């Protein structure tokens, strides 16, 4: 892929992150922000929107760093384990390990007295199900060998990128960060073949 397409990928992912974070941010605190719309306080609305978009740009950059790191790790894994089937097995183990940690250790560290494990489980389940959908789309877009690597990226890499919010464990920040990261990761994963195919056609 040429430099022009890399720039296109960077800018478009940046835009996706900003837009999604802006929408999610208003929805998460709608009870607080709706008065701004009721009063037509345009200056305050724009101030909040620009702040959310700026935060979204940061999330997008984190997502892109994770994506390029994943591409390197994937190639490294294929080289170390020699066969794709063995590397896929390792990735499945890592997916299961990360999901378990996301539920069990978050519950052990952050759960308040009397709180059940169900909310922690539902968050992990949501990430896993979203990852399955994107991995299935990636499989249809390319080939069946892409399914497990795509699922690994959507689950493991997304959770790693989400670590700053996990450590804070503030509900709004958790959702404000993970949703844009998942969307940005899905966007990069699905748009990359189109960019590379365009490059191949031109060359």
Question: Which contacts qualify for 1-8: CB closer than 8 Å, 24 or more apart?
Answer: 1/192, 1/195, 1/196, 1/199, 2/199, 5/195, 5/196, 5/198, 5/199, 8/195
pLDDT of residue 47 exceeding 60, the answer is yes
Mean pLDDT of the region 139-144: 89
Q: In the predicted model, is pLDDT for residue 198 greater than 70?
A: no
What pLDDT score was predicted for residue 195?
79
pTM for this model (two decimals): 0.91
pLDDT at 19: 96
pLDDT digits (tens, 9 = 90+) for 55-111: 999 999 999 999 999 999 998 888 888 788 899 999 999 999 999 999 999 999 998
């Amino acid at each position: 892929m040429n430099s022009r397409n890399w720039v296109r990928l960077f800018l478009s992912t940046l835009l996706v992150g900003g837009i999604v974070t802006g929408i999610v941010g208003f929805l998460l605190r709608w009870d607080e922000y709706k008065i701004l719309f009721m009063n037509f306080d345009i200056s305050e609305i724009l101030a909040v929107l620009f702040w959310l978009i700026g935060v979204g740009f940061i999330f997008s950059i984190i997502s892109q760093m994770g994506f390029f790191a994943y591409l390197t790790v994937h190639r490294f894994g294929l080289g170390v384990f020699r066969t794709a089937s063995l590397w896929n097995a390792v990735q499945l183990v890592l997916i299961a390990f990360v999901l378990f940690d996301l539920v069990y250790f978050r519950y052990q560290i952050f759960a308040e007295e009397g709180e059940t494990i169900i909310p922690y489980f539902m968050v992990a389940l949501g990430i896993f199900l979203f990852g399955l959908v994107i991995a299935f789309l990636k499989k249809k877009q390319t080939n069946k060998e892409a399914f497990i690597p795509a699922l690994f990226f959507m689950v493991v890499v997304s959770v790693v990128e989400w670590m700053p919010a996990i450590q804070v464990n503030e509900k709004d920040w958790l959702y404000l960060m993970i949703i844009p990261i998942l969307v940005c990761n899905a966007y990069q994963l699905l748009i990359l073949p189109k960019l590379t195919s365009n490059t191949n056609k031109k060359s």
